[in-house]
Structure 1
């Protein structure tokens, strides 16, 4: 009888563990449907849909479904959302649509209560210390208020570190404890000059991040720390070329740590590629692709898009020193042009499009540059699909080039062979059709 009762208890306990109830109440939201999404850094994966049975109350269960631990998002029609941590326990959250984070209350999950407490504390700490430091930079040190503000800075840090230490040590192996540990800032000496504080952060800001914890992929811990770390190398007054070099240093520092775990390494690289792609930092993208993606043969998420894959393929198959592939294409009159038949000491192969804003600037510059060079040929391949638009662009800009196009855009033969992912793209070739350089500006072209 005891064995039967024990078996019953075990079955009941197991079913309880495998069936967690999630209830999210958002007052004044005004919608009856939502999506349940799993977070992976800045990416989201929709795993379910939810319909409110009562006004503003969204309930669902993880029963008989295998959901990993980590952060999830309940996203509404207006793209507003509620984030919560699922760690195997029931979740019950209440908030108001007018102030989702600030009015958030967790009535059943200690982890979620702790999460939102940390989010508010972390935001307030960074805001207050940032404002105080900006003030102290300009305030006379001999004034009494300077010392008061300095003490306030140190007190804010003491309170922040006390919270992080206490909460991350209560249940050190819990998801929320690991998240807080990896997301927190290291202690800084606010008495040091800003430059020395910055040097300290560059050296130690990633010390608390556990890059070996693959479960933290299902949170924003790695991506938040990555973008935060990059800001230490950002200088709004610096020219783009210098800024890109600084970001490369930051990337080396981040990735050298992330490499301890292949899954986390790939997660961080994908985030970096996606971010720098959005901001148009092409040299940084090439740096990541050449030094990490290709060297370590990383298999990237298909959702990064065809442009990243083409960039990888181009860097892998058409490096400096490689002989470029031959192609035949029609000029504006329909006459075939074959690349290998062109004779010149140096030949610039440029892929462009009439609708590309940057092309409208650089093509006329190349036209003027060519006039100053001897035995220098330019072959301009347009990715246009409309013959008249292509022709008008050539005539309007008086392009004295060898102009060709198959009017197939990115799917054209030459564009495919050269893995073209952006316009303009340039290849400077020698007489043997070897790549001398891949200039991005006319100024760079003038170096060779």
Structure 2
């Protein structure tokens, strides 16, 4: 019995410890900040841990195995740090500039030191190497400066691949950067991308490469986008998690860029799948169902609302509602919302109410801007990590919906002019 108890104790203890920790030395300014650690599933960032802060140290405990890119987000400074996880401890120190934005990051763990050096190496390759090659032509081979230039050119032209032998994720990340680099796509064909997705190893979804590479794939496929997408989806197999994640990404890209015909086609294909659907594709299907014409827009409780005593979207009584998702840092919002302001009295006289939801990171910035407008406004203060994105399928600001008195969506205008035109407001 004692042996069994000891074994049980050992099993429980292994589950109570984190897979790995991320330790960040932070300036005093961030000592009261909310700090979050995210991993990736394609372009979706998944919250892995919230930091516990003590004595100017932010400590994340990650209790799930994870290999791939990660991002620490410091809410108070609205700044982030990218890093690599090999399911091992990560240690770093950050410094802020005079505006309290992150100005310097010093990694202390081997994999992120290598990653940091690689980022610097790529910058030099892209910005400095071409200039050095041109400058060299102005000197004779016998001159010492020519020899120095040649040494530096050789150093920037040849990467030490042996350094990555014990770091398979970094090796994968560096080898496949060409697919997400817009400047490299002239060298690639649609078939290269299809082969990459169908044969890529386990790190694709956590590499942060997937979405930018799919955008590049679509650009390469301009002559036959639909045909090449069909070939891609056949190659990756929609009955697999990878195939469904790629399908989800494509639907969201088509939605973002207003490619409605393609979005509708592949959303229908997703809805018609008879196999088990992974969480990623299921969330895309649900978000689109939530916001199709005729659907009852999901209710949401207000958390930081101004200009109302209502507790939720459904509590607002009006013959129609204009729901707008916006941000204080959105230039298009700056151009369009004042036009709604000009017509607000006219709208109110027709019992039409405006309800704004802000995707600001800072509640102070939200309130400063929202107070310029007399209509109802709310914000979670979480930026693009707000619940609005997943619930209402928001991929850009401003995004408009017009609701009837029963909260069903009757129109999804693209611009403020379309809003006013639909409502016949002069």
Q: TM-score, normalised by structure 2?
A: 0.50
**CA offsets 1:174-220 (integer angstroms, 9 cap, x no match):** 33323333334599xx9xxx9xx836444435655575534432331
Q: CA 1:81–1:271 in structure 2 vs 1: closer, same or farther (change >3 Å)?
A: same
**CA offsets 1:139-188 (integer angstroms, 9 cap, x no match):** xxxxx89xxxxxx9xx989956745x5455x137x33323333334599x
SS of 2:51's equivalent in the other structure is strand
Q: CA 1:266–1:119 in structure 2 vs 1: closer, same or farther (change >3 Å)?
A: farther
Shift of 1:92: 0.9
8 Å contact 1:23–1:59 — kept in the other structure? Answer: yes
For 2:284, the equivalent position in structure 1 comes to 304
For 2:117, the equivalent position in structure 1 comes to 117
For 2:106, the equivalent position in structure 1 comes to 105
Structure 2 residue 43 is the aligned partner of structure 1 residue 42: yes
**CA RMSD, Structure 1 to Structure 2 (Å):** 5.2
CA distance in 2 between partners of 1:114 and 1:206 (Å):
30
Q: Structure 2: 5+ residue runs without aligned partners?
A: 1-6, 139-148, 295-319, 325-346, 353-402, 415-426
Q: CA 1:17–1:207 in structure 2 vs 1: closer, same or farther (change >3 Å)?
A: farther
The 5 A counterparts of 1:306-321 are 306-309=286-289
For 1:179, the equivalent position in structure 2 comes to 173
SS of 1:32's equivalent in the other structure is coil
CA distance in 1 between partners of 2:189 and 2:128 (Å):
18
8 Å contact 2:179–2:209 — kept in the other structure? Answer: no
8 Å contact 2:67–2:203 — kept in the other structure? Answer: yes
Shift of 1:246: 4.8
SS of 1:52's equivalent in the other structure is strand
Shift of 1:282: 0.7
**CA offsets 1:300-349 (integer angstroms, 9 cap, x no match):** 545436452369999xxxxxxxxxxxxxxxxxxxxxxxxxxxxxxxxxxx
User: Aligned pair count?
Assistant: 288
**CA offsets 1:84-127 (integer angstroms, 9 cap, x no match):** 2222322111233349898433212x222233333444455566
For 1:76, the equivalent position in structure 2 comes to 74
8 Å contact 2:321–2:404 — kept in the other structure? Answer: no
8 Å contact 2:22–2:60 — kept in the other structure? Answer: yes
Q: Structure 1: 5+ residue runs without aligned partners?
A: 1-6, 137-143, 146-151, 234-242, 315-352, 358-384, 391-405, 416-420, 425-448
- My pick for the range that moved more, 67-76 or 27-36, is 27-36
Q: Give the number of the structure whose alpha-carbon radius of gyration is greater.
A: 1
CA distance in 2 between partners of 1:262 and 1:388 (Å):
51
Q: CA 1:280–1:128 in structure 2 vs 1: closer, same or farther (change >3 Å)?
A: farther
Query: Which among 216, 220, 237 is matched to residue 204 of structure 2?
Result: 216
The 5 A counterparts of 1:16-415 are 20-27=20-27, 30-33=30-33, 34-55=35-56, 57-62=57-62, 65-77=63-75, 78-98=77-97, 103-108=104-109, 110-122=110-122, 125=125, 162-163=159-160, 165-168=161-164, 170-171=165-166, 174-184=168-178, 198=186, 200-204=188-192, 211-233=199-221, 246-249=224-227, 251-252=229-230, 254-259=232-237, 262-291=240-269, 294=272, 298=277, 300-304=280-284, 306-309=286-289, 388=350, 407-408=404-405, 411=408
